[in-house]
């Protein structure tokens, strides 16, 4: 079992005043009252000492990426003093400790700190252990590609990238043109420090639920097709995703697809049909999305080439053969143009194309729906499914979606999905640390077992042995 080391807050103590007190005991009664009062005072002091001990022990100070005073490079990124095995086993004491951390920690945007750190690439790579990443021969022969469409929280994007990183894979980052200057600098810095990470050659100002979100992924896919890395599958991620499988485990799962794709693809309800049956126009919005596609009364014509519509999500796992076909297909180009004025086209574009007869990895149109409960691409927990299908959210709900908490670590790792959505260090940093450490240790143990040509122990393959 590995015990994680953490940084403790330096406690200077309380200033003591020097006081001179004279006590007079003219009678036994007064002396008795004094002893009683002194006993009560000692009890109160003991209680206060215990309280201070507890408070100091669980007080957390966030070390920014750029703060190096007093710490060596490997400690540049903050570590919480938490036992992830105990979190996985749902031990009340450790879960309570994680809740204390959650309440006391205020995770702030650290874009500037990350910019400072990656200004020195050797220091950054050393601090994040990139030189320690190990891959098996099977992984080297089966490289993966990633499209990361992101727009904020550089420190979270960095954690995602590190969690899915191996030197034989390739990574395209598309940042929103509306992102802050510091965020853009952070992403450019990551690409500068890592040779297999690059920024998309064409960038979009992404608008929620519009064609620009789909175009962002397409821009990365176009660049990835032209890369020298002969990747086998491409996976798209956003800034609140996190892997639930180590790279070696993911490669093993992807091989089982035998060239097929993994995504949601279902027949649309009458309500969902309105998203692409009517022309939509971008209009100003009064809430967090400044602009939004709004349905008009203008009906759209049917999709080109007799395409039958299906719906799914923006997330996909696509084979190189499928992406190559799509990149050359007139049908795909015409369908993309037709989807330009629809609502959230990324939620029907991939789901529909994978049903087109003859495409690589085709899902026949007659085949039953592949819902979000069946697809392994993302594990998303909706609040209205908690109870009958999912355990309760231990993090926080935002627009009906659970942002996971540490109490869901075991469930996340055992559910069978490849990625979790959503995670956020501002909601629960302990969960992210435990996922990160678990996957790194699984990768190390599995690669070591395969390189030694030994039979992989079932205890290593089992998720319930988190760290050894």
pLDDT in tens, 264-281: 999 999 999 999 999 999
Residues 6+ apart with CB under 8 A from 202: 219, 222
**Crossing angle of the two packed helices 154-164 and 181-193, in degrees rounded to 10:** 20
pLDDT bin (cut points 50, 70, 90) of residue 24 is very low
pLDDT in tens, 85-108: 999 999 999 999 999 999 887 776
Selecting among 204, 347, 408, 436, the annotated active-site residue is 347
Q: Is the peptide bond before 10 cis (omega within 30 degrees of 0)?
A: no
pLDDT bin (cut points 50, 70, 90) of residue 465 is very low
Per-residue DSSP letters for 27-47?
SHHHHHHHHHHHHHHHHHHHH
pLDDT in tens, 428-454: 999 999 999 999 999 999 999 998 875
**Crossing angle of the two packed helices 320-328 and 330-338, in degrees rounded to 10:** 80
Structure tokens at 193: 């420090």
> Is the whole-model pTM more than 0.85?
no
Backbone dihedral angles phi then psi of residue 144, each to the nearest 5 degrees: -115, 160
pLDDT bin (cut points 50, 70, 90) of residue 38 is low
- Cβ neighbour number for residue 196 with a 10 Å cutoff: 17
Across-strand partners of 236? 147
Q: Is 281 a catalytic residue?
A: no
Whether the pLDDT of residue 47 is over 80: the answer is no
Whether the pLDDT of residue 20 is over 90: the answer is no
Overall average pLDDT of the 418-424 stretch: 97
Pairing of strands 401-403, 396-398: antiparallel
Structure tokens at 139: 């992984």
pLDDT in tens, 128-154: 999 999 999 999 999 999 999 999 999
Provide the terminal-to-terminal Cα distance of the chain, rounded to the nearest Å: 5
Residues 6+ apart with CB under 8 A from 8: 56, 57, 59, 81
Whether the pLDDT of residue 179 is over 60: the answer is yes
pLDDT for res 26: 38
């Amino acid at each position: 079992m590995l015990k994680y080391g953490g940084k403790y807050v330096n406690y200077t103590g309380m200033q003591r005043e020097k006081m001179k007190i004279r006590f007079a005991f003219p009678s036994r009664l007064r002396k008795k009252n004094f002893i009683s009062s002194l006993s009560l005072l000692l009890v109160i002091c003991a209680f206060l000492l215990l309280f201070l001990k507890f408070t100091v022990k669980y007080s957390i100070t966030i070390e920014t990426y750029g703060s190096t005073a007093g710490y060596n490079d490997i400690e540049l990124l903050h570590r919480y003093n938490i036992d992830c095995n105990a979190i996985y086993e749902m031990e009340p004491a450790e879960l309570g400790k994680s809740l204390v951390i959650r309440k006391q920690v205020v995770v702030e945007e650290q874009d500037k700190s990350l910019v400072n750190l990656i200004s020195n690439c050797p220091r950054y790579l050393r601090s994040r252990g990139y030189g320690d990443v190990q891959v098996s021969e099977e992984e080297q022969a089966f490289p993966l590609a990633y499209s990361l469409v992101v727009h904020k929280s550089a420190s979270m994007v960095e954690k995602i990238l590190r969690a899915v990183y191996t030197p034989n894979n390739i990574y395209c980052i598309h940042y929103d043109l509306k992102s802050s200057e510091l965020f853009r600098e952070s992403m450019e810095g990551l690409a500068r420090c890592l040779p297999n990470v690059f920024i998309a050659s064409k960038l979009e100002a992404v608008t929620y639920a519009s064609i620009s979100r789909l175009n962002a992924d397409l821009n990365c896919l176009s660049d990835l097709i032209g890369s020298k890395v002969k990747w086998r599958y491409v996976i798209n991620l956003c800034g609140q995703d996190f892997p639930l499988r180590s790279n070696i485990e993911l490669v093993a799962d992807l091989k089982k697809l035998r060239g097929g794709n993994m995504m949601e693809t279902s027949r649309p309800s009458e309500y969902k049909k309105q998203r692409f049956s009517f022309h939509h126009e971008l209009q100003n919005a009064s809430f967090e999305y400044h602009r939004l596609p709004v349905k008009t009364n203008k009906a759209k014509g049917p999709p080109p080439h007799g395409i039958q519509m299906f719906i799914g999500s923006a997330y996909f796992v696509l084979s190189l053969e499928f992406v190559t076909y799509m990149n050359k297909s007139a049908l795909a180009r015409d369908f993309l143009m037709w989807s330009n004025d629809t609502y959230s086209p990324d939620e029907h574009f991939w789901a529909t194309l994978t049903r087109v007869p003859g495409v690589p990895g085709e899902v026949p149109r007659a085949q039953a729906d592949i819902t979000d409960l069946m697809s392994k691409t993302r594990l998303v927990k909706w609040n209205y499914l908690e109870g009958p299908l999912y355990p309760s959210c231990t993090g926080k709900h935002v627009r009906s979606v659970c942002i996971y908490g540490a109490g869901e670590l075991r469930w996340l790792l055992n559910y069978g999905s490849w990625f979790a959505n959503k995670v956020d260090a501002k909601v629960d940093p302990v969960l992210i640390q435990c996922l990160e450490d678990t996957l790194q240790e699984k990768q190390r143990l599995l690669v070591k077992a395969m390189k030694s040509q030994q039979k992989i122990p079932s205890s290593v393959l089992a998720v319930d042995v988190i760290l050894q």
